[in-house]
Amino acid sequence: MKLSEIPLNKNAKIIKVECSDDLKQRFYSFGIIKGATVCVETVSLAKNTMEINVEDTSIGIRVEEAKTIEVEMI
Amino acid sequence: MGECNLENNSLKPMKIVLAGQPNVGKSSLINAMTNAQLKVGNFSGVTVEKTEICFEHHCHAVEMIDLPGTYSVNGFSQEEKVARDYLLNEDYDVIINVIDSTHLTRNLLLTLELLNLNKKMVLALNMYDEAQKDGIIIDIKQIEAITGIPTVAVSANTKEGVDKLLDTVHEKYDLEKRLKTNITYSDTIENGIFNIKEFLDSKNYEYKDLNSREMAIKLIIEDKEFFKAIHDEPIFMELQPLVINEVNDIYSYFETKDLVEIQSQEHHSIARGIRAETVKRADKKKPKQLTKKIDDILINKFVGIPIFLFLMWGLFQLTFEIGAIPMDYIDAGIGWFGDAVGASISHEGLRSLIVDGIINGVGAVLMFLPNIIILYIGIALLETTGYMSRVAFLLDGFFHKFGLHGKSFIPLVTGFGCTVPAYMATRTLKNEKDRLITLYILGFMSCGARLPIYVLFAGAFFSASSAGNVIFAIYILGALMGLVMAKVLRVTAFKGEDEPFVMEMPKYRMPTMKLLWFIVSKEAWMYLKKAGTFILAATILIWFASNYPKVDDPSPKAQLEQSYLGIMGKSTQFLFDPIGLDWRQTVALETGLAAKEVVVATLGILYNVGEDLDETSGALLDAIKQQIPFASAVSFIVFVMIYLPCFAASMVFVKEAGGYNHLVYLFILTTVVAWVMSFLAYNITLAIT
C-alpha cells in the first residue's frame, strides 16, 4: 500500500522507499526510512500536497512523492 | 571596537563554524552569542550565502561562520553543497552543531554525519527552554557519554547557557587533540570496523590525525577522499580484499547494496537509541497542540488560500503604501541636497555630473530603502514564524504545473512592486533551478516604475473609464506570459529532476524583535552596498551618454538627439522599424534600460513639450495621441512590458543568478520575446484597425 493511499490520522509503518537518490536522501534526513512510523495529517484541496507526521515532525510532501513510499497499516 | 580588529591580537583567530538543520534557531543563537553585531558581511558563496561575524571572547579574536541550514551533509541542494564544501575543504577550528532540543532524533542524524568529518565539535542543544516547557527532560551528561562530544544546553531566547557554550568551545579549541566519539554501530558493522582496524593497526598505517577506527569507518562508508589517499599506498593491495569481504557481509545483512541507505538506517537507529536513553517526557501531553490548531485554520482546504492571499495583499499594500511616505521625504531631501550642493559648484559640467548624475542616481536607490525594509520585515516574519512552509504547501500544486516551486510566489508578487527586492526575495528558494527560473521570469511581473508608461499610453488612446481595465489587463497578461515562460524554460533550458518538495512544517514561533532587526538590517545594508555601487556607476554612464558630446543648441531636445544616446537610437532604429517604432521611441526604450522612470521623461524631451513631465501631463498625452499611430503605441507598450526592467535590477539579477552570462541570456531572452510579441501585436493591430 502506498503512503498516498492511507486514511488520515492513522499510523502506518514504512516498509520501502523507492525513488531517485536525491529524493531518497531528503526523505532519510527527515526520518522517512524503512521501519519508521508515519501518519497523514492533511491533504490539500487539489490533492497535490499532503502533510505527514514522522518522529514528531510535520512534513509537507507532494502526493506524487508519497506514491514512492510503501507502507503497511499498524 | 566596531571592526574586526585582529592586528593588535597576536593569536590566530579562533574559527568557529555553526552547522545545523534549518529551523533550529542558528541565527538567534549567533545573535545571542555575539551580543552586538560587530561585523556582518557575506562572502564567496555565489548564490547561497554564508555569514561571517567577528568578535572577541576572553581576549581571543573569534570568527564565526554561519553555514546555511542543512538537513544532511550528503544532500544535493545548493545550500547543502555550500555547507558540505565548507565543512570538507575549508580550514576551521571548531564546529558548533546546533540542535533543536524538541526534535532530538532528527537533529542527531546530522550530528552523526558531522562526526564522520572528525573535527573538534561541540553540541548546542538550542531551544532548551522550549523543550522544558513541553515537558521534555534531556540528560545532557548522558548525551556527552554516548556521543563523546561536549554538550551544552542553551536557549537563544533567554540567553541561558550561551556563555557556557562559548566557554566550552574555547576550552575545546585550546585542547591539543580532538575528542574521540563513542558512537557504536550495529554488530555487523562493528565487526567489519574491528577487522579492518586490526589490520590497519598491524601495519601501523597512519593518515592525518585519524585513528585506526576512524579510518576503518571511512573505508566502510566509501569516503572518497580517504580512498584516494590510501589507493596509492602498497597497503591497499592487502586491504582491498578485506574491505570487499567486510562490506559484502554488511550488504547481505542489510539486504541492500545502497550504502547511503545502510548508513541512514544505522544513523536512525543510533539517533533513536540516544533519544530513548536521554529524553524523558514529564507528562504525556502532545507538545504540538497549538501548532496543530493554527494549522487547522491556516492550511485548511478552503480558507487557507484566501487567508494567504489576504496576508500577501496586506504586505503588498504596506510595502508600497507606507513605503511611499518616507519615500517622498527622502525624495524631497535628495532634491534639496542636490540643489544645495549644486549651488556651491560653479563648473557646469562638474555640477551636472554630481547633481544630475551621482546624487540623483544614488538617491534613486535610497528612495527604495523603506520599501525594502518593510518587505524584508514581512518576509522575515513569514520565514521565522514558520508560515512560509505552509504557503509553499498550499501553492505548490498550482505552481508546480508551471515548473515553479510553491515558494516562488513571494518574489513573483513582490515583482509587481519593484523587481529589485523581488530578485532578492528569490533567496527563499533553495533549489538552484527553481531559483533561476523564477529570476528569469520576474521581469514579466510589471513593476511599479512601468505603471507611468502604461498610464500615459492608456490615457492617450482609451477613454478614462476603460483605461483602468486596460492597465489591469496589461498586468495580468504580463503575469500569464511569465508563467508560460516558466514552463518553457523548465522544459528547455532548466530541464532535469524537479526539486523534491519534502519540506518541514516547523512549529509556529514568534520571533524576537532583536532577531527581526538582525535579519532586516543585514539585508538592508547589503542592498545599499550592492545596488548602491552599481547604480552609481550606471548613472554616471547614462548621464554622460545623454549629455555628451555637447551641442551649441541649448534645447534639451537637440542635446538629447545629438548625444551619444541619440546617435545610438538613430543608428539602431532599423531594428525597431519592423515593429513600427521610430527613432524617438527607440531612444525612449533604450534609456528605459537604465530605469523605466526615464522612459516618460525621454518621450517628453523628444516630443518637445518640456522636461518636467509626469504621466498626467496633458501636453505630452496630446502629443502622443497625435504623433504616434495606435499600432505603434500597442507595439511600444508590449515591448515595455517584457524587456529588461532596469539597470539596478539587472545588476541585482547578476548577483542573484550568479554571473554576467545569465544577464546576457536574460537580455537575449527578454528582448527577443519582446520583439516577437511587439511584432505580432503591431501587425495584428494594423490588420484589425
Q: Write the pLDDT tens digit of every residue in B218-244.
A: 999 888 888 888 888 899 999 999 999
Are residues B252 and B194 part of one domain?
Answer: yes
State the CATH architecture for A3-73. Roll (2.30)
ipTM, interface predicted TM-score of the complex? 0.90
Both B163 and B229 in a single domain? no
Say whether both B311 and B269 belong to one domain: no
Q: Is B22 exposed, middle or buried (0-12, 13-18, 19+ CB in 10 A)?
A: middle
Please count the other Cβ atoms lying within 10 Å of the Cβ belonging to residue B177: 7
Query: In the block, which residue shows the cell 555487523?
Result: B188
Global pTM? 0.73
Question: Which residue of A lies nearest to B287 if distances are taken between CA atoms?
Answer: A56
Element of type H or E holding B504: strand B503-505
List of residues 6+ apart from B522 with CB closer than 8 A: B40, B51
Mean pLDDT by 10 residues, chain B (689 residues): 46 85 81 59 39 74 82 73 84 92 89 90 92 87 91 89 90 83 89 93 88 91 87 90 93 88 90 90 63 84 86 74 79 86 84 78 73 77 82 86 83 80 77 87 85 82 81 86 91 77 82 80 74 68 78 74 84 90 86 80 68 57 85 93 88 87 94 94 91
B262: domain CATH number? 1.10.287
Residue B653: CA count within 13 A, CB half-sphere: 26
Calpha distance B365→B367 (Å, rounded): 5
- Is the distance from CB of B503 to CB of A49 less than 8 angstroms? no
Cα B399 from Cα B391, distance rounded (Å): 12
User: Which pLDDT belongs to residue B5?
Assistant: 47
| Nearest CB to B106 within list A42, A55, A61 | A55
A23, A25, A34, best to mutate vs chain B, most B CBs in 10 Å: A25
Domain boundary among B145, B174, B203: B174
Q: Which pLDDT value is given to residue B296? A: 84
Q: How far is B236 from chain A (nearest CA, A)?
A: 30
- Per the domain annotation, does B180 fall within a domain? no
A13 interface with B at CB cutoff 8 Å: no
Query: Which run of H or E residues covers position B514?
Result: helix B513-547
CB B502 within 8 A of CB A59: yes
Q: Are strands A49-54 and A37-43 parallel, antiparallel or unpaired?
A: antiparallel
- Tell me how far the alpha carbon of residue B603 is from its chain's centroid: 36
Residue ending a domain, among B298, B315, B346, is B298
B261 touching A (Cβ < 8 Å): yes
- Residue B282 and residue B142: Cα distance in Å, rounded? 17
Q: Does A70 touch chain B (CB under 8 A)?
A: no
On whether both B87 and B206 belong to a single domain, the answer is no
Q: Which member of B264, B292, B398 has the closest CB to residue A33?
A: B264
Q: How close, in Å, is residue A40 to chain B by CA atoms?
A: 13
Where do the structural domains in chain A lie, given as residue ranges? 3-73
Nearest to A22 by CA among B254, B497, B658, B398: B497
Contact A62 B110 (CB under 8 A): no
Residues B365 and B250 in one domain: no
Segments forming the whole domain that contains residue B21: 6-174
How many whole angstroms separate alpha carbon B170 and alpha carbon B457?
Answer: 66
Set of cell numbers at residue B100: 533543536
Question: Hey, are the CB atoms on A57 and B504 less than 8 Å from each other?
Answer: yes
Which residues of B fall within a CB distance of 8 Å from A34?
Answer: 261, 265
Q: Same domain for B111 and B192?
A: no
Residue B237 inside a domain? The answer is yes
User: Do residues B529 and B632 share a domain?
Assistant: yes
Secondary structure class of B561 (helix, strand, coil):
helix
Count the domains in chain B.
3
Q: Let me know whether B219 and B312 are in one domain.
A: no
- B106: closest CA of chain A, how far (Å): 6
Instruction: Give the distance from residue A64's alpha carbon to the nearest chain B alpha carbon, in angstroms.
Output: 10
Query: Would you call A29 and B109 a contact, using CB atoms and an 8 Å cutoff?
Result: yes
Residues B95 and B205 in one domain: no
Angle at A28 between CA A22 and CA A33, to 5 degrees: 125
B192 and B47 share a domain?
no
Domain termination site, one of B246, B280, B298: B298
B559 shares its domain with B668: yes
Shared domain for B121 and B198, answered yes or no, is: no
**B chain contacts of residue A59, beta-carbon cutoff 8 Å:** 502-505
Q: Is residue B1 included in any domain, yes or no?
A: no
